[in-house]
Chain A
Amino acid sequence: MQTRQILPLLILALVMTFGAVGSSAATATVTIRVEGMRCGNCAASITKNLKVTAGVEDVRVSFEKTEAWIKFDDQKITVAKLREVINGTGFKAVEEKASGD
C-alpha cells in the first residue's frame, strides 16, 4: 500500500529532475566578434534584432570589445543563425568563442 503511494511521487520527482537537466542542457552561450562597429549607438540594432529572435534568451553587445555575448537555446537556434541575424543588421559576424552552459 505504502509502495503504491510512493511510486507516483518517485516517478514525478524523476521526471522533474530530468526535465530540469534537459532544459539547462539546451542553454548555451557564445561570444561573437563583430566587425564594423564604429559607432556605439548603431550597435543598438544588434541587441534589438537578436532579442526578438526566437531562441535568444539574453544579449550583451560591447562596442569597446567589438563583440556580442549571446545566451540562447541551442535546440531552437544555431550559432550560424545568430551570425546571420548579426549580418542582417549591416555588421559582420566574423568568429565565435562558443561555450556551453
Chain B
Amino acid sequence: MTDLLPELSRLGDTIERAAAAQVAGRSRARRHTPRKLLLAVAVALVAIPGLAYAASTLISNDEVAAGLPAGTKMLQGTEPRCTVVRQGVEYHCVLSRLPADPEVADLKGTVEPTVDATKHVNGGCRSLTSDGRVWQCYIGQAAVAEKIIGPDFLGEYSPTPGVG
C-alpha cells in the first residue's frame, strides 16, 4: 500500500466503493436470468447443434442495426443502417444521426455490445471513426474473436442499454 495524499486516498475509497457496487449490481442481474430460459436454450443447443449458427446466419441488416442502440445507451436515437459484409458474421453500419452524448470525445476504436430482440448480447461493434458515425459489427463468436466482447458476455441477459 502506498502513502497517498489524504485527498487521493479518499478518492480511491470512493472509486473502489462505486466499482464494487457496480460489480455487485452486475452479479445480481446475472442471477436474475430466468432458469427456465437458460434450460430451454441449453436443451435446444444440445438437440439442434446447428441452431446457434443458423440463428446467426438468419439475422437481418435491420436486426443488426437495432442491436446497436439496444446494447448501448449512447447510441439510442442514432438510427443505424447496416449492410452485410459477411452474412451472419460481419456488418458495416452507419448512423443516420451522431451520438448526442458520446461517452468519450474520440470514439474511434471504441467497442460496444449489440443486443438482440430477446435482450441478450448477440455480438458487438467497433467504431471506425472518431465521431462514432461508422461501425463495424460482428455477430456471435465473431465478436469474441474480434475481442469486442468476452466469451462470458456473449448471450448475457441485458434488459437495458449499457453505459461504459
> Do A and B associate with each other?
no
Interface set of A (CB-CB < 8 Å, partner B): none
